[in-house]
Each structure stands twice: as C-alpha cells, then as structure tokens.
Amino acid sequence: MSRSFRVGPGGRLVGRIRVPGDKSISHRAVMLGAIADGATRVSGFLTGADAISTMNVFRALGVRIEGPAGGRVIVHGVGLHGLRAAAGALDCGNAGTAMRLLMGLLAGQRFESTLVGDESLSRRPMRRVAEPLQRMGARIETNDGCPPVRILPGDGLHAIRYELPMASAQLKSALLLAGLYASGETVVIEPAPTRDHTERMLRAFGVEVRSAGPAVSLCGGQALHGAPVDVPADLSSAAFFLVGAAIAPGSDLTLEHVGINPTRTGCLEILRRMGADIEILAPRRAGGEPVADLRVRSAALRGIEIPPELVPLAIDEFPALFVAACCAEGRTVVRGAGELRVKESDRIATMAQGLAALGFDTRPTDDGIVIDGRGGDDAVFRAGRALAHHDHRIAMSLAIAALRASGAVEVDDTTNVATSFPGFVEAARGLGLDIEEHGE
C-alpha cells in the first residue's frame, strides 16, 4: 500500500516526547545477543520494520527471541558458533545496516546464506563490503555489486589490516564482526571517526576491542557473554523535531533520554553553530551509552560552511539539516558527504528535488550541496507535492518543512517511515504539527 502525508502550513512544536529507540543499537543488540553465550535482555528496543527484519533473520538462523513487548526483547544466544543454516533466503526488508553487518557476521559461518531485501535495498551497493571480506577469505557473490548477496562456506577467515576508503560505520562494523571468526588480529583504520556502537557493545559483551587513534582492532575467537542493553532514544529520529522546533517561531520542545554518543552528535554541533538554542539536560549513562534530555527553542539560524570532520557524525541527519539550512540567513555549504548518494535514496538529489517542489532551489554537488537560506520568520517554502522516493528520512524532513510553508505540503511515498519511526504521525501531531496520513 502506498502512503502519503498531508501537512498543514505553519504552527509550532511544544511539549515533551521520547522518540523511538536507536535503530543502530537495536540492530546490534540482536546480532551480538544472538552469538553470545546466555541471554541478552534489551529494553527500549525499536519496534520499527528494519529492526524487526533483523530479529526475524536471527530467528531463521535458529535463535530464540522473545518480544518485542513494550520495547523489551530477550535474545537467547547460541554462542559464537551456534547459528544454523536457514531454510530459505534471509529477508532484510529495507534494512541496509542489517544486510551489511550480516555480511560480516555470516562470512565466518560454515553454512551457506543468501541475503535479500525489498526493491529499494536491492539497488543499494554491497561491493564495498564484499571486497574486503573476500580479502579475509570469504566467498561472497553479489548481483553486479547489489543484493541478493550469496555467502558460501569457505576454508576459514584470516585477519587483515584495512584502511576504509570512506568513513562508514557499517563497513567498519561488518569487518569487526567478521574479525570475531578470523585467525589473527583484524585492524580497521578510519579516515574520520564514525559511530562506535559496535565497539562499545562488543566490550559490554566481554570482547577486548582496542582503539588507537583512527585504528580499531580485535582478535578472533573471543567469546561473547549476554549482557543487558538499554537502548536510548534515537538521535536520528529526534533530529526532525530538533530542526522543527528550531525553525518554527514559538517552539519549546524537550526530547527525553536521547543518545548523545559523541560519534553521533554532529547534527547537534551543526545546529548549534547555526545558532540553534539547544540545551543538554541531565546527562547520564544508560547501557554504556551517554544519554541526555534535549531542550530546543526556536531561534534565528544562520548559514555556515559545515566542517568536514562533522559530516560523518551527522550523515543520517542531513535531510533534516537541509531544511534548517533553507530557513537560515545566508549560505550553507556541505562537502564530503558523498555517502548520502548511496543511502535508501540518493539523498542529495532526492532532497534537492523535494525542496524544489516546495519552491526552494538548491545547488547539489557531487559530494554535497549549497543552500542559500532565506532567514527571518516568514514562510520559506510554498505549498506543493513532493516525492520521498520511499526514503523514510526524506519523508519526515519534508513533512517538517511545512512548519515554514505558506500552504499545505503533501509528501508521497511515505510507507517506509515505519522502518525507523513507527508512530511518527501521531507523535508529530501531539507536538503541534498539522499532519494527516493517507493510504491508497
């Protein structure tokens, strides 16, 4: 079923909300819990379609999983070598993170697996993960670099030292998971810091992971032990409301228990440099991850040239940040964000097209975008109909743009919003966004 949003113009965001659990951490909790000895109890688990796909993959691989019930999941681990061959293909749905990390984990198994996905995922590149895994001895076949991905049993993996060609937490994580099954020490060198949820959670499960500057390493054969995981609210999901409250006059919003892992807070730093009024309240730790409440009030934003070191720390939040840039006074320049071209959609092109449909022209580049903002409190966008191209983050970003539009904004192809933010429409409406969802 195709779904769409209709969002009335103007308004403000006021109140308190805890957005759904972090998708990256939810994926990893199930994966590591599955290959650990003993039970892993997860709270705050994201019940979106992507995380459920990961859960169902491991059920097919012989892992007993209870839940999710009220965000609680119990994974009964089978140990490092306890997974068994599935009866059929493993369906990752729309979850690119799941597929790429599974490639690393399954490369070390002694049985054959085939990873498939939906139409969108079937177009996403997997060669950059397959190639270093093949250097480790994995036998992996793709469809011209895209899914389906077939992983064949081999003669065992050996460790490598690998310099990532571009900053990618997914590729780093895939190689570290493969490294658990490899002989020797696997070393991954990053060109820039990326989210470190995998390293943190591996340590919580008893694995020795070394970090030395840009290098992360582990030795193969280490056993994992089940551990409690408290999943914080997802900063990527919070970003839509952070931007919405920053650009809509009169807004005053508090987002509760949000993960503020320093490898994920690029969007907070970027918004603050643009002049956003964001307070970090009651910082604390939950399950090895730093969390806090975030209070954001409307403020006059200014365009900036985004520092290259912040780009990989905000890669998933850029669609929302593009909306903020449109509402800022002056020019915003993004460079070094080529990773956006290979997400659920080409997020540079898709956002440029969506904003153009709402009367705002931007200048995309090969690895970024230039946006000349309009500033002030007047409407920045006009009424219009935009396509999200089945990309959840595009859909929610364009919906938030309606807060500064002169007329109703309609967004088509919004079905995949449920992959990361189930209940988005109800949550947004409760905070003051005039939004309706329609299905065909």
**Residue length of the chain:** 440
Check residues 12 and 418 and name the one with the higher pLDDT.
Answer: 12
234-291 pLDDT, tens per residue? 999 999 999 999 999 999 999 999 999 998 899 999 999 999 999 999 999 887 789 9
The full set of domains in the chain, from first to last, is 3-21+232-439 (3.65.10.10), 23-230 (3.65.10.10)
State the amino acid at position 132 in one-letter form.
P
CA–CA separation, 91 vs 98, rounded Å? 10
Residue 189's CB is within 10 A of a number of other CB atoms, namely 15
Is the pLDDT at 1 greater than 70? The verdict is no
Mean pLDDT of 126-146: 96
408-432 pLDDT, tens per residue? 999 999 988 988 898 999 999 999 9
Helix (H, G, I), strand (E, B) or coil at 354: helix
pLDDT score recorded for residue 347: 95
CA–CA separation, 156 vs 229, rounded Å? 31
pLDDT score recorded for residue 440: 64
Burial class for 211, CB neighbours closer than 10 Å (0-12, 13-18, 19+): exposed
Q: Is 316 a catalytic residue?
A: yes
- Which listed residue (91, 118, 196, 316) is catalytic? 316
pLDDT score recorded for residue 2: 81
Pair 204, 17: CB distance under 8 Å = no
Mean pLDDT of 56-63: 98
